[in-house]
Structure 1
Amino acid sequence: MVRVLRSTILPAPLEAVWEILRDFNGHDQWHPAIATSQIERGQPADRVGCVRKFRLEDGAELREQLLTLSDADAAYSYCLLDTPVPLFNYVSHVRLIPVTDADHTYWQWEGQFDTRPEERDEMTELVGSGIYQAGFDAIRAQMGLEA
Structure 2
Amino acid sequence: MAGIRVSTVVEAPAERVWELVGDYHALGDWHPHLPPSRLGNGLTGNAIGSVRVFELPDGVVLHETLLAYDEEARSYTYSFPDGTFHFDDYRATLRVTPVTELGASFVEWSVTFDIEPEHRKESSDRVHGVFTSGLAALRKHFAG
Q: TM-score scaled to structure 1, two decimals?
A: 0.90
Asked if structure 1 preserves the Cα contact closer than 8 Å seen for 2:42 and 2:50, the reply is: no
Deviation at 1:76, TM superposition (A): 0.7
Number of residue pairs aligned between Structure 1 and Structure 2: 144
Q: Which residue of 1 aligns with 2:125?
A: 125
Does residue 10 of the first structure (1) align with residue 26 of the second (2)? no
Q: Which residue of 2 aligns with 1:48?
A: 48
Deviation at 1:108, TM superposition (A): 1.1
Asked if structure 2 preserves the Cα contact closer than 8 Å seen for 1:60 and 1:84, the reply is: no
Asked if structure 2 preserves the Cα contact closer than 8 Å seen for 1:54 and 1:61, the reply is: yes
Bigger fraction of residues in helix: 2
Does residue 107 of the first structure (1) align with residue 110 of the second (2)? no
Gap regions ≥5 residues in structure 2: none
| Mapped partners of 2:83, 2:36: distance in 1 | 15
Identity fraction in percent: 32
SS of 1:20's equivalent in the other structure is helix
Does residue 35 of the first structure (1) align with residue 14 of the second (2)? no
Q: Which amino acid aligns with 1:90?
A: Y
| Mapped partners of 2:17, 2:28: distance in 1 | 16
Q: Which residue of 1 aligns with 2:73?
A: 73
Asked if structure 2 preserves the Cα contact closer than 8 Å seen for 1:74 and 1:95, the reply is: yes
Q: Which amino acid aligns with 2:135?
A: F
Gap regions ≥5 residues in structure 1: none
| Mapped partners of 2:104, 2:11: distance in 1 | 5
Deviation at 1:138, TM superposition (A): 1.6
| Mapped partners of 2:26, 2:36: distance in 1 | 9
Deviation at 1:96, TM superposition (A): 1.2
Q: Which amino acid aligns with 2:35?
A: A
Per-residue CA deviation, residues 64-99 of structure 1 (Å, 9 max, x unaligned), is 110111111001100112665212211011111100
Asked if structure 2 preserves the Cα contact closer than 8 Å seen for 1:62 and 1:82, the reply is: no
Q: Which amino acid aligns with 2:64?
A: E
Deviation at 1:22, TM superposition (A): 0.9
Q: Which amino acid aligns with 1:136?
A: L
Q: TM-score scaled to structure 2, two decimals?
A: 0.91
